[in-house]
Structures are given as C-alpha cells and as structure tokens.
Structure 1
Amino acid sequence: MTTSSTDPLIGRLIDGRYQVRSRIARGGMATVYLATDLRLERRVAIKVMHGHLADDSQYRARFIQEARSAARLAHPNVVNVYDQGQDGETAYLVMEYLPGITLRDLLMEHKVLTTMQAMDIMEAILSGLAAAHKNGIVHRDLKPENVLLADDGRIKIGDFGLARAASANTATGNALLGTIAYLSPELVTRGVADARSDIYAVGIMLYEMLAGEQPFRGEQAFQIAHQHANDTVPTPSTKNPRVPAELDELVLWATARDPEQRPRDAKAMLDQLHETEALLRLEEPTAATAIQRTMIMPSAVAAPSSTGDTQILSPKARHRTGPILTETANTLALKSDRRRRKGFWLFALVILFAALAGGTGWYFGTGPGAQVAIPDLAGQSPAAATTTLTGLGLTVNPTPGETPSLKVPKGAVAQTTPAIGTRVPKDSQVTLLVSSGPKNIAVPTLVGEAQNAAIQNIKDAGFRYDSKASSKQFDAKVSKDTVISAFGTDALDLTTVTTYGQNQPISLVVSVGAIPDVAGKSVADATNILTAVKLTATPGRQEYSDTVPSGSVIGIDVANGAVIRPGDPISLTISKGKEQIAVPDVINMTWAKAKQTLLDAGFKPSYNRAADAVAFVVTVGKTDPAAGTMVDKGSTVKVNFNSF
C-alpha cells in the first residue's frame, strides 16, 4: 500500500459519506483509495477517475461501464461494487476492500507456483469469470494485476473497466484495449473480443504460473502482438519439466490461435479443470505431494483380503486393486485417449499438407499476400518512424499530417493512417500524423481575479495549475491575493494570447499587497515590521534628511521597476539628520550679490533694513551667524549693512 501526504483527496469527505484515508494504488485511468463508509461504518476501496480524464466522454463512459458490469455480478470470486457517483468534478466507484496482494505480487515473489497452487487460483478465476460470461459480460483485461488474493484466503477478479457485452462482438476501435501480454490473436488482428478472448488470457496466466514467465516477450509492444497473432503458445513443461501433461494440454486448449478451438466460455474450461484435477489426484504422486487417502472399498472389488471394510490404500495400491475409478474418471481417461488419437491424426495431416502449407506460408508470410501490423510509433521522430515502416515493406507518404496530442511531444509521431495496430498488405502507403502538441483551447480570465477563483478557472477551462512555478510579489497597486499576471510554458505571457494548449500548466503571479511604510521608524522597529511580511531588512546607505531624525529610517532602497517577493533581502536608508554647512563670507558685498551667494549655499538670507532700495546700494558689514560658522543647511542668515 502506498500513501501520499500531498494527495489532495486524502482526508477529504466524498459525497458526504466516504472519508478518504490513504492511497492504495494508481493506474492510468484512476487512483484507488482506502476509505471509510461513514453511513455503514465499514472500510471500502474507492476508485477515483483522474481529473484530466473526467471531461473525456470515452473514459467517463468506460468508468461507468465498470460499475454497471461489476454490479451485475454477485459472486464470491468477483470484487463487489457498492456504489458509483459524481461529487463535483470527482467521478468515483465504491468497491469491496480486500486487504492482501495481487497475483502479480505473488508471481514476483515466488515466480513459479506448484501445480496445486496454480489450479486452486485458476479455479477461483474461472468461477468468477464463468459468472461474468453467464451474465453476458466479457472482461477483456484479465491479467495477474486484476486477480486479488485476500489475506483471508479469498481470491477475486476485479477491474471491469474494459468490460463489454459478450453478444456485441464489436471491434475495440483504432487502439487495442487491454494489456498486450494477454491479448488474444483475434484482438490483435481484428480488434474483436468475445468470451473466448478472456479464455486466451486465462491460458496465458496459467502458463505464467506454471512456467515462471510469459510465453511471448519482446522489446516493443508490436513484437509481442505479432507473436500472439502468428505463433503458438508453447507448453509450460518446456520451461518447467515438473508440469504434468494434462496441464500442458489445458494451456494449449485455452491458448489456441483459432478461437473456435478454445473452450467456448469460462464454465467449459472450469469443468475441464475439475476433471484434470481429479485425474491428477489419481496419478502416481511425487514425494512432495504423496498423501494417504481413506476410501470405502465396495465388496464387489476383486482384491486380496477383500472384506468390504475401510482400508487405507496408497494411489499405487489403488491401481493394482482393479476398477475402483469413478464414472467421471473413466470418462476423463476416454477423453484423454481421444485427444491423443486426435493429436496423431493432426500430426499426420500436417505432414500430408506440409508442401501446401509451406507455399501458403510463403505467400502470406513474405510473398505478395503478406500482411504486416503497423507498429506503435508514438513518440518517435518522423525519420525514425519512416525507417521502421520501410523496413517492414511499407511505403510512407512524403507529406505527413498533423494531429493534437496530450501525451506525445510536438514534432514526434502521434498516430498513423491507417491506425497503429492495423494489419495492411505489404507495399501499402502509411501516412504519419505528427503531434502538433495539445489542442488549443480558450484561456479564461485570470488577471485581476482572486487567487482561488483564478485557480478554479484554470481547472474548469481544461488546464493544469502549476503551483511550483507560481509566485507572489509585493505590489502597491494590486490588492492582496489578487492575480497580477499569468504564464504558460517557456514564460509565455497568457495576457497576450487567447488560446493555449489543453491540459498544459499555468502559473500565477499573485500580489501580497504593498510593502509596509517604515519611514521615520527606528531600525529595530522597521526590521520587525518587514520580517512580519517575510522580508529580510538590513541597514543600507545613509543620507541627510531635513525631516527624519538622525539614526531613524528614511525609507526602503528599491530601484524603479524592481520586483520584490516574500523572502527577498531589502536595504534600509538611514537618516544622518540635517546637513551642516559653513556660512559663506559675504562682507563688503552688495545685498544683491550677498543674497544670491547665501541662497546658492543653501541658506535663507534676510536683512535688517526696511527699504530694499537702500539695501541694494550699500554693502554688507557682517552676518548673523558670522561667516564660517557651521549651521544646519537651510537656516536663516541675517545680513547687517554698513552705515552710509
């Protein structure tokens, strides 16, 4: 079980009923959480569709289909579905919670299972699947990850997200659904699935449990798909000699390339599994599995010292005592003989038509009638994709097309025409569809909005809010918690565009208001005020001030246009008090010249004579304060004139 302290759903109450506790698993379509149903006071597993898929009608319909498909099944080997609904943007599915592991976890730990372990697990899988097939449901995504092994011993199949009506027998569309390692040949070649496609996946899982690995492997998905379509699944005993021939036959039956040669549904395979298990229990046991069984011997049996009493017999003794097998065992032996005779007949038929098969194989394999599947080229450069296609005997349209894509980077191949996975004759022309990036959609109003409202606008419009790239800054003109600007990838200013790529990130610059005014404050007080808004203040340059006392703060030293954010350092301008300068010597100057000299020096000149006319014709005798005296700049200097 995995949890995430940053997951916004953890701790949330969904639909007023389900309290989310922790995260269990995450998949491509949804995340599964452990939750408490407060109404019924029980633990449940709640499956929540990823937010970016909620607006996609195809994914939403598939999610609802899972609920409907599983809810129709009431079987001890199928995970129960309790509820399904929508809470705001959250589409959810409530299921039975099964603490334990998956079959994949078991195979990763033990790799190879014993014959009895494999048959026990297979019996549970087929029992649940038989219920689905009986109700007209094809699972279409059977794999070890979807088989749950509970701590209390229960075995259940789940995840009906790809389930469809068995009677539909329709193609899956351009993209193959399900996991490639378990896809049947008809799904690979024609995109068609029915109950026998599920049987093929079950056969692959049985092979994997017995052999310790999957039958087909490759570096790329199309290589595995090609093997499913063209190769026969080998017997598990080729990898594990301890596998009995009866289980080899069961694997080959379930994984026949022709669906007509497989069991018609899970019930048919389950019946055969029961017969196989009964037959194996009657065969010679190994030292590891030998057990003594208590049997009631009928009086008609011809055996030494036969008394009709209860006797303890080993399997070997039972073979010596005569016809003690049940009618079912006799029937199974006859069926086994018929299968062996059929095998010899098929072998002779293969030899008889070897030449014809060779010619046919050449024609359809490498000759004019050959068909190839267009491989998965998503994410490759057009040049690399062209090389791959021409290597398969296909031609490439020199003029590629374009298609929007959320997953494939711009400029790389996203899809082809015909679609990826389609089988086409050699020499067919394929057109590459190059990703133009995400589809452009309208950018909502963000600047001037409150921060929370802007974030909701981003999500509602189909974009992603990038909290890591978002920032806050001081702005005296914009109110606190209001958006100043918005940006996309590569610092794209979203105020300059009207459309932007779907599901792409958007970051916001949000105002924290104006920087506090600390003019006239002491350095200590100013530092405390600025620390409270997450600014680191330090004393800076000193200046003379006519209004701020010496030692106090004049203001903050910020360059014009500079951006200040919380956490930034900031410099304080400190007052040196009023500037003091010397009174200039204006003695013997006329009043006009003395006045201008005092003004230029930064003083306020005045004189003690009433008539300006007189003052302009006399000369200065002395000043008050006297010339050379240090006084505050801006002080008044009185001028005394010489007498006439």
Structure 2
Amino acid sequence: MIGRLIDGRYQVRSRIARGGMATVYLATDLRLERRVAIKIMHGHLADDSTFKNRFVQEARQAARLAHPNVVNVFDQGQDSDMAYLVMEYLPGITLRDLIKDRGTLTTEQTLDIMEAILSGLSAAHKAGIVHRDLKPENVLLADDGRIKIGDFGLARAASANTATGQALLGTIAYLSPELVTRGIADTRSDIYALGIMMFEMLTGEQPFQGEQPMQIAYQHANDTVPLPSSKNPRVPVELDELVLWSTEKDPEKRPRDAKAFLDQVLEVSRHLHENGGTLAVGSTAVMPAALATELLETDRFSTAESNAETQAFTQKARHKTGPVVDDSATALTAAAARRRRRGGWIFGLVILLAALAAGTGWYFSAGPGGFVTIPVVRGMAPELAQQQLEELGFEVASEQRSDVEIPAGTVSGSSPDGQTTAQKGTQVTLYVSSGPKMIAVTDVVGMPEDQARAALADFAIGDSIRQFSDQAAGVVLAATDGAGQPLPAEYGERQPITLVVSAGAIPDVAGLSVDDATAALTQAGLTVSPDQQEDFSDDVDAGLVIGAITQTDPVRANDPMVLNVSKGPDLVEVPDVSGVNVAEGKATLEAAGFTVEVNSIIPEGGWGLPGLVVSSTDPAGGEQLKRGSTVTIQASL
C-alpha cells in the first residue's frame, strides 16, 4: 500500500496505525498539497455490508461535527474495491501514550484534558451523536497542544440507542453498566466512559481489572467505581465527586450529557484555582445536586438499618431535607417496609446477575466472545495457516511482506503474534513472505575494498577472494552472488555477496635462483610445485629461473605455480660434411638441427666432381652453433 495513489489524489506515504476494521496511513493530498490521514478499510471486510455501512457512517457522523476538539473529516470515497476515509493528520501521541509515560497525571492536567474532551463531545451530543467507544486511544494529543477526539466508527444517532446483539461493542474497560446488561447506549454511556478515563488519568490504572473480559464486564455491572483518592491520596475530594457522579450505575443519576458534565468540570476548575489548588476536605460547594441527593439517600438507608439509631436518622434527615415523620414507630415501620421492598428487588437483581454471569461466561468462553491462543504459523503454507486460524474462530487477512529467512510464498508471521491470546472473531493478518526485499546494487568494480563493503552494506558480504591481476592490490575486480554469478541490477536484502579483490601482480622471478623464486612466490600467497620445467634460454644462465608458469586462470591465492628453469643456450656441434654428396651432407646437417643453404661454386684448380660438397662454412665443421641456425655448404658444379 505504501506509495500507492488513492483515487488519483492521495499518495500513501507510511502506515500510522492498524485497527480491527481499518488501517490508517499518512498520505499527501496532491491536489491541496497537504498531509492527511487516510483510513482504509480492510479488504476482507469490503464485501460485508454491515462493516461497510459502519465505515461510511463514521464519515457522515464525523463530517457533521465542526469543532476544534474533534478530528476533522475531509473526504470519503471508494477506489476500486477499497473504501477509504480522509481525515485531518495530527502528529503527536494519544492519551494512552501519555498515561503509559507519566503513570498518573496531575489535577490540572486531568482537568485540562477533560475540558477539551468534553468540549468536543458536547458538540457531538448536541448534534445527536453518541460516540460509544471513548477510551484513551481515541484521544489525540497533538504536538502543538491541541486535544481532539477521533474514531467515530461506533458512533450512532442518540435516538437509536438500542443495540441488540451489539452490547459489547467498544472496549470492555470503558463500557457502562447499561451497555453490559441491556445493550443500550445514549449520551450518559459516553459520560460513564469519561469517568473511567478520568479515574485512569488520576491513578494510572483502570478501576476494574481481571484476567478475562467477562470478569471486568461483571464488575462494571455490579461494583461501584472506587474513589481515585483511595489509589492516589493527592486527588482532591472535588475530583472524587466528579468521578463518582459520572460513573453512577444508574444512568439517571449521571450528567445528562457532555455539556452538563463540562459545566461542572469548569466549576471545579474555578474553585480549585481560587483555593490554591484544593478545597477543604468534605466540601460540597460544587458537588452536583444529583450526587448530593444520592449521598443523602445513602446516609438515610444506612441509618434506618439500625432501630437504635432511628431518632438520629430522623434528626439527620430533617436537618438535610426538611421536616419528616417524628413518630419513632412510624419511622421504624417505614424502614422495615423499605427493607422488604429492597430485599425483593435484590433477589430479582441476584437472579438477573446470575443469568447475566452465565450468559457472559458462555459468551467469553465457548461463545463467539471466547479467547483463544493464536497458533504459531511461521513457515507454514498460507492455505494451511488460514484454515487453522478459521477453525479457531478468527477472521483471516493476508499481506505480502519481505523476509530474508522465510522462502517466498510461505507465511513469515502473523499479527497478533503466535502464542498470544485473542478473542474469537479477531482479525489475524497472515504475512506471506515475498522473499528478501529487492535493493538496487551499486557497481563497485574498481573501488577500494572498504568502500565497496560500505556501498553494499544492505547485503551479507562474506570473505573476499584474492585474485592476482594487473590492478593495484585491494581494488575490487568483481562482485558475485551466492552462486558465483555476476550480480543483477537488483538483489535480495541480506543475501550473500562475494567480492573478488586484486592481490596485485604475480611476482617477477626471472633470473632468480630457484630458492629465491620459491620464497618470493610463497610470500605473495602462491604455492610452488616441487616439479620444475627446464628449457633452453639464450638470455638466462643455466640453473636460474626463466619464469613462473601458472596452472589456473585466473590465478588466486594458494594456487600452484611451476618454475621454468633455464638449461642455458641450446648449442650443437656442426657436422663436417666435406667431400660427401650434397644431398647427403644437407641431410646430415638438418638432422643435427640446422637449416641448410647450398652455394654452387667452381672449385679452385678447376672443375671437381659435380655434386660433391667442397667445404662447409659459416661455421666450419666441429664448431658449436645454436640449434636452428643456418649452415651454408659449398657444392662443386
């Protein structure tokens, strides 16, 4: 996908993140010359109308919002079978990254981030949009200080709050009790998620934890979020109250929407600022009315449980809420009735929770929400790996990826990795090896060896081969692949390369003694054969070396050499052929290795017998002459 031009306009540069439904890339809008984030739906989901509609819905929902704390959506479309969404690109980190880095945030940091989130969410709620997937991963903290909400992939119209069969959409750690038990989400479900996020910012951890998502979902449905100050004593009581108010199990007791919650957060910020960063412990100057009522009701129930404290309860209730029944017996009767009603309600709740636990247990074990260990598929055939993963309940996609170890066409790995645990239905991407990444090869012939190695650093360069040549020592003569063949224009990453490097010229040993010649060749890295070749030489004295004879071509280190030793000049005695027949004399001289020229003369003193050799001259018979020389004979006419 990197380098691809989407819809003739968006040039993909690099991958930013990957999710269950889509992958986000950094791209350049060639038309407007700006950087954008382009979200591309996974190919295997393109044929699923549910996912495709949700993807298009995200574009429409986000496009309805124009707010500085919401990630802008610029465009949406389809290129071939690929659905995409073009968004504002914000270089920076997520709130999750900040929490991981800092552990806990200060009160001021928490309130600043909450104000920004709530401002953007207020615009969404005002437009009738419920986000339904608020979590630190979806809060972007830009390098320039901007804070924005993103990823409206699960957003729905606020009126369509019944999500039958989809109660567990979103992240388990931030799901409100009504989403867990009834699958219903509205603006107050977003507020619950924000309360959990606020707790996490203040304490560095989530309020509910467990080994299985079922355990976390059960705690959301049944347990009360603890006070942040119980984990971090530096948290002011005002922020404790905000967290408790926003995470009430009963949606009716939470802020009705982001605007109501934002107003209260701003009021708390103002009070903390005016009081130097904290208020007196127990102050309720800014506690929401709904939360104050709940605390009152809690006091009332706990007091009414004790007959001995009925009068104290009556006085406390009158002090807080005005006149109440004064008669002790009447108060006790009313309290008993309330306990009976509450007992019946609790019994029904226990039955409901038991059924919920059983259903949730099935969902997260044998059901579609169960967790399964992903097998190790590295080295397997793609078809076999896909079959194995699908049988375990995973969705499978595949991508090509270069690998220097795994042969092309074989699975090189998966995402998530093997041996990790993931929920059934999770998409597992198989990475199919395309072999080593192909890289352009630099021509290094003629370079010094160290420069050549630097130029070929992307490959695996072994020991060099030393070869004798007329080039200076250390110069690269050739570069070959693992099979000894010349390198192509492009070659696989980390694949073997062998450099053939000049060892300089073979030493000239002409005129040296056999011992000196042997020492010179051995020092140069050659091997001298004990067998010698002897030849006549007019230039080199007998017993000295004429030269070294190579036995291989080309000549490389440790190759054998044979010394050619001089026998001196090749001299032969000239036969005396005087007085013999010319033909016989010529034959005798030629047999001795000479070339013969015949001159016809009239002998002194008159005519001799024709055809006889009068004399042999140049030189005369008996003299030493180099074999192959010309001897002239004089023949009588």
TM-score, structure 1 normalization? 0.52
User: Which of residues 318, 324, 333 in structure 1 aligns to 2:285?
Assistant: 333
Residues 168 and 89 (structure 1), Cα distance of their counterparts in 2 relative to 1, 3 Å cut: same
Aligned residue type for 1:116 = E
1:231 matched to 2:223: yes
CA distance in 2, matches of 1:34, 1:368: 46
CA distance in 1, matches of 2:351, 2:366: 27
1:118 matched to 2:103: no
Residues 123 and 12 (structure 1), Cα distance of their counterparts in 2 relative to 1, 3 Å cut: same
CA distance in 2, matches of 1:134, 1:115: 27
CA distance in 2, matches of 1:151, 1:506: 36
1:99 matched to 2:84: no
CA distance in 1, matches of 2:356, 2:184: 18
Correspondence for 1:374: 359
CA distance in 2, matches of 1:503, 1:57: 21
Aligned residue type for 1:161 = G
User: Which of residues 301, 312, 326 in structure 2 aligns to 1:349?
Assistant: 301
Correspondence for 1:191: 183
Shift of 1:282: 2.4
Question: How is 1:158-197 mapped onto 2 (pairs within 5 angstroms)?
Answer: 158-174=150-166, 176-197=168-189
Aligned residue type for 1:146 = N
Correspondence for 2:576: none
Contact 2:401 2:431 in 1 (8 A): yes
Aligned residue type for 1:344 = L
Shift of 1:152: 0.6
Correspondence for 2:241: 249
Correspondence for 2:633: none
Contact 2:192 2:246 in 1 (8 A): yes
CA distance in 1, matches of 2:430, 2:46: 16
1:67 matched to 2:67: no
Correspondence for 1:516: none
2:210 is paired with a residue whose SS is coil
Contact 1:136 1:167 in 2 (8 A): yes
Deviations 1:45-81 (A, max 9, x none): 1111111111111111111111111111000000001
Correspondence for 1:12: 4
CA distance in 2, matches of 1:465, 1:109: 33
Q: Which runs of 5+ in 2 are unaligned?
A: 306-334, 371-384, 412-427, 435-482, 489-637
Structure 1 or 2, whichever has the larger Rg, is 2
Contact 2:36 2:88 in 1 (8 A): yes
User: Could you list the runs of 4 or more consecutive aligned residues of structure 1 that deviate by over 4 angstroms after TM superposition?
Assistant: 334-342, 352-356, 366-371, 376-382, 405-412, 462-472, 502-508, 529-534
Question: How is 1:455-474 mapped onto 2 (pairs within 5 angstroms)?
Answer: none
Deviations 1:588-622 (A, max 9, x none): xxxxxxxxxxxxxxxxxxxxxxxxxxxxxxxxxxx
Correspondence for 1:281: 273
Residues 341 and 42 (structure 1), Cα distance of their counterparts in 2 relative to 1, 3 Å cut: closer
Aligned residue type for 2:349 = F
CA distance in 2, matches of 1:466, 1:281: 54
Shift of 1:233: 1.1
Shift of 1:86: 1.0
Correspondence for 1:128: 120
Contact 2:264 2:288 in 1 (8 A): no
User: Which of residues 262, 278, 287 in structure 2 aligns to 1:270?
Assistant: 262
Aligned residue type for 1:120 = D
Shift of 1:375: 3.0
User: Which of residues 139, 148, 156 in structure 2 aligns to 1:147?
Assistant: 139
1:364 matched to 2:316: no
Aligned-residue sequence identity (percent) comes to 62
Deviations 1:5-62 (A, max 9, x none): xxxx111111111111111111111111111111111111111111111111111111
My pick for the range that moved more, 154-163 or 164-173, is 164-173
Contact 2:125 2:187 in 1 (8 A): yes
1:74 is paired with a residue whose SS is coil
Shift of 1:341: 6.5
CA distance in 1, matches of 2:242, 2:364: 40
Contact 1:80 1:96 in 2 (8 A): yes
Aligned residue type for 1:343 = L
Correspondence for 1:51: 43
1:81 matched to 2:73: yes
CA distance in 1, matches of 2:290, 2:192: 23
Aligned residue type for 1:68 = R
Aligned residue type for 1:182 = Y
Correspondence for 2:610: none
Shift of 1:90: 2.1
Residues 192 and 408 (structure 1), Cα distance of their counterparts in 2 relative to 1, 3 Å cut: farther
Contact 1:77 1:127 in 2 (8 A): yes
Residues 248 and 463 (structure 1), Cα distance of their counterparts in 2 relative to 1, 3 Å cut: closer
Aligned-residue CA RMSD in angstroms?
A: 4.1
Aligned residue type for 2:146 = R
Shift of 1:371: 4.4
Shift of 1:340: 4.5
CA distance in 2, matches of 1:121, 1:347: 33
1:91 is paired with a residue whose SS is strand
Shift of 1:172: 4.6
CA distance in 2, matches of 1:94, 1:68: 12
Contact 2:253 2:291 in 1 (8 A): no
Deviations 1:177-235 (A, max 9, x none): 10110011111111111111111101110111112211111111111111111111111
Aligned residue type for 2:243 = V
Shift of 1:345: 3.6
Deviations 1:134-168 (A, max 9, x none): 11111010000000000111000000001111111
Correspondence for 1:394: none
Residues 149 and 376 (structure 1), Cα distance of their counterparts in 2 relative to 1, 3 Å cut: farther
CA distance in 2, matches of 1:115, 1:44: 33
Residues 22 and 159 (structure 1), Cα distance of their counterparts in 2 relative to 1, 3 Å cut: same
Contact 1:52 1:503 in 2 (8 A): no
1:232 is paired with a residue whose SS is coil
2:169 is paired with a residue whose SS is coil
Contact 1:381 1:411 in 2 (8 A): no
Aligned residue type for 1:58 = T
Q: Which runs of 5+ in 1 are unaligned?
A: 1-8, 287-314, 317-329, 386-404, 415-434, 439-461, 473-485, 489-501, 509-528, 535-644
CA distance in 1, matches of 2:219, 2:294: 26
1:78 is paired with a residue whose SS is coil
1:375 is paired with a residue whose SS is helix
Deviations 1:520-557 (A, max 9, x none): xxxxxxxxx996999xxxxxxxxxxxxxxxxxxxxxxx
CA distance in 1, matches of 2:349, 2:199: 29
TM-score, structure 2 normalization? 0.52
Contact 1:172 1:191 in 2 (8 A): yes
CA distance in 2, matches of 1:10, 1:283: 54
Aligned residue type for 1:374 = G
User: Which of residues 241, 250, 254 in structure 2 aligns to 1:258?
Assistant: 250
CA distance in 1, matches of 2:14, 2:401: 24
2:185 is paired with a residue whose SS is coil
Residues 120 and 377 (structure 1), Cα distance of their counterparts in 2 relative to 1, 3 Å cut: same
CA distance in 2, matches of 1:407, 1:144: 35
